[in-house]
Each structure stands twice: as structure tokens, then as C-alpha cells.
């Protein structure tokens, strides 16, 4: 059945699109990430992102101390992130194409527009993960040699560098994630009392990591990055979604992933000149290095 432009529920389309690609958004939980909405955005604007690292221990007094207004060691700050990229993906359809478009096909277009934004932002975020910033890798080797023991070694490197033993996240390139899945220490029923890892290709919390994520969009940079482990403070990012004043004949909505906060603006309109239909997903964003001790790299081979 042909989709009606006038009756299109863009909010439902937008929410369904983000829900469909939610697995691709998980890397945003591996960073300090702040999302804002604004009526107007200019390249070069800044967003102050809360940035918290491990602070000092509490002070132990020998008698009661009523001074509750002295900051004595919590390591917190707000890091300014420059919003310097406008991420935008648009689909154009002629009236004839629109008439042939089913509701299901329409939803698939919205989903791919959202996926394109998430992928581009993720690649820009991970492109920051370089030796000059984050130091020596915790693992160097091809995927066929990577197993659960190597994941333990990366955890130890991260814990030693930060003193943090909880809330650890591993983001692994697809074949390296598969290396953990293939490890007999992990994929057997005896490992977790379930055949879930072998049956569903989903790794549970294991080897001290709260989350182990498979990502096929890690950029193949000159330093051969294939993954990273982090406390969630190694990279700081910000996203701004513009909510402009638009004519009545332009549909607009925003949608937010409830787990990561990742947000996109969605809009649609029909051109008064050509009669063609345009569908877009967009946002502004920027990234910077955070606490460089809070992220350790995995590479395939030393550059």
C-alpha cells in the first residue's frame, strides 16, 4: 500500500529508526557524552560536557568536622567541546517513487538515514584513538590470536592506569569480538550455565567488563586500530540537535535513544518547485580526548 505523505507519522518513524539501530549506538555509552537541543547552531559553538575522573580518598578526621563546603579531592570538571561538524543524510524521491513506496519501505529509508549519521559520528569519534594521545596498546596481534586471556590483560592495563575496577567497557572490531566468542572458556555451557554466547553471538559480562561491544565501524587508521577498552571517560563528545522554526509544510521531530542519549533530528518536506519529496536525518557534533589514562588501544600490527 502506498504511503501517504500527509498522514506520515514522522515521530513514530524516527523512534523506530533509532530503536532498529540501537546496537550501533552502544559505543556512545563508552564515552562522556552530552546532548543538547538549540534553536540555532553555528559551527564553532561549544558545549560544556561534565567530565568526572577518579578523585582522592575521603579525608579521615580524628574528630567531627562540620566543614561540608570544602572540595577536598573529587576530580570533576566541565570540558568544552567544539561543535564543528554538521552530520546530514538526505533521501530524495520523485512523486512517482513516493506513490510506489510502502509504509515498510518508508521506514527502512528513515532507518538508513539514521544509521548513516550514527556511523559517521562513530568513525569521527574513534579516529581520535591514536598512540600519541593514548600511549602503548594493551594488545597487538591478528584476530585469530585474540582470546579471553588477552581481554583480561587489557583489563589489567586499564585498572592499573586508572584504579577503577567497575564500569569497564570493551569495544572490539567484529573479528576480534568473534575471537572471544570462539574461546572455549567463554562459549561453553559450563562457562555461564547457558549456551547463550554460542547460540546468540552475544557476550555476557565477563572478564571484569560490564559491557563487551562488537563494532564493524572502527576506522582502519594508519595505526591499525581494531578495538579499545575504557572506563567511559577516555573520549568526550557532544551532540547538538537544531530545532529550527519551520514552515507548516515541513515535518520535524527529534528522537533520543534512551540508553545512550544519542539524538537525531528528522525532517521531511515536499519541494514547491519540483514536487519531489525529501527526507533527512541530522545533528551537529564534536569530540575530543578525555582522560587519556582511561582508554587502552588494541591494534592488529605495530605501524
Strand-pair category, 45-53 with 32-38 = unpaired
- pLDDT for 76 equals 66
What are residue 241's phi and psi, to 5 degrees?
-110, 120
Nearest residue to 26 (alpha-carbon basis) of 127, 172, 151:
172
pTM of the model: 0.83
CA angle 148, 150, 156 (to 5 degrees): 110
Question: Mind listing the pLDDT tens digit of every residue in the chain (303 residues)?
Answer: 456 777 789 999 999 999 999 878 877 878 888 888 887 777 888 888 887 665 556 666 666 766 666 665 555 678 899 999 999 999 999 999 998 989 999 999 999 999 999 999 988 998 999 999 999 999 999 999 998 899 999 999 999 999 888 889 899 998 998 888 877 666 554 444 555 544 454 565 667 788 888 888 887 677 999 999 999 889 999 999 988 777 778 899 999 999 889 999 999 999 999 999 999 999 999 999 998 999 999 999 988
- pLDDT for 192 equals 47
DSSP one-letter code for 2:
B
CA–CA gap between residue 73 and residue 294 (Å, rounded): 18
Beta bridge partners of 268: 251, 279
Beta carbons of 54 and 73 less than 8 angstroms apart: no
Three-state secondary-structure class, residue 303: coil
Sequence-ordered list of residues with C-beta below 8 angstroms from that of 108, at least 6 positions apart, any chain: none
Strand-pair category, 235-242 with 32-38 = parallel
Which runs of consecutive H residues, i.e. helices, occur in 135-273?
Answer: 148-162, 174-182, 184-187, 189-192, 196-200
Share of the chain residues as helix, strand and coil, in percent rounded to the nearest 5:
30, 30, 35
- pLDDT for 22 equals 86
Domains of the chain by residue range: 1-45+77-303
Q: Where are the beta strands (DSSP E) in the chain?
A: 32-38, 45-53, 75-83, 85-93, 139-140, 169-173, 211-215, 225-230, 235-242, 251-256, 263-270, 277-289, 295-299
**The domain 1-45+77-303: what is its CATH number?**
3.90.1690
CA–CA gap between residue 286 and residue 86 (Å, rounded): 9
H/E segment holding residue 291? none
Nearest residue to 85 (alpha-carbon basis) of 123, 32, 129:
123
Beta carbons of 135 and 197 less than 8 angstroms apart: no
Amino acid at each position: 500500500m502506498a504511503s501517504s505523505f500527509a498522514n506520515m507519522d514522522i515521530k513514530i518513524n524516527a523512534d523506530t529508526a533509532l530503536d532498529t539501530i540501537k546496537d550501533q549506538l552502544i559505543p556512545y555509552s563508552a564515552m562522556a557524552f552530552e546532548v543538547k537541543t538549540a534553536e540555532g547552531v553555528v559551527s564553532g559553538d561549544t558545549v560544556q560536557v561534565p567530565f568526572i575522573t577518579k578523585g582522592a580518598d575521603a579525608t579521615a578526621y580524628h574528630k567531627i568536622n562540620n566543614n561540608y563546603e570544602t572540595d577536598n579531592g573529587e576530580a570533576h570538571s566541565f570540558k568544552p567541546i567544539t561543535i564543528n561538524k554538521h552530520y546530514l543524510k538526505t533521501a530524495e524521491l520523485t512523486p512517482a517513487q513516493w506513490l510506489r513506496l510502502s509504509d515498510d519501505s518508508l521506514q527502512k529509508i528513515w532507518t538508513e538515514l539514521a544509521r548513516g549519521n550514527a556511523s559517521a559520528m562513530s568513525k569521527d569519534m574513534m579516529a581520535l584513538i591514536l598512540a600519541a594521545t593514548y600511549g602503548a596498546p594493551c594488545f597487538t596481534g591478528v584476530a585469530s590470536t585474540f582470546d579471553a586471556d588477552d581481554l583480561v590483560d587489557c583489563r589489567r592495563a586499564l585498572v592499573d592506569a586508572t584504579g577503577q575496577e567497575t564500569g569497564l567497557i570493551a569495544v572490539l572490531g567484529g573479528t576480534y569480538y568473534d575471537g572471544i566468542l570462539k574461546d572455549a572458556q567463554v562459549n561453553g555451557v559450563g562457562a555461564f550455565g547457558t549456551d547463550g554466547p554460542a547460540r546468540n553471538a552475544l557476550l555476557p559480562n565477563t572478564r571484569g567488563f560490564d559491557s563487551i561491544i562488537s563494532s564493524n565501524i572502527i576506522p582502519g587508521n594508519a595505526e591499525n586500530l581494531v578495538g579499545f577498552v575504557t572506563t567511559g571517560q577516555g573520549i568526550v563528545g557532544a551532540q547538538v540537535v537544531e530545532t529550527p522554526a519551520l514552515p507548516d509544510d515541513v515535518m520535524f521531530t527529534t528522537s533520543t535513544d534512551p540508553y545512550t542519549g544519542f539524538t537525531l533530528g528528522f525532517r521531511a518536506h515536499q519541494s514547491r518547485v519540483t514536487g519531489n519529496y525529501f527526507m533527512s536525518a541530522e545533528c551537529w557534533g564534536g569530540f575530543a580526548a578525555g582522560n587519556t589514562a582511561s582508554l587502552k588501544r588494541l591494534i592488529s600490527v605495530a605501524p
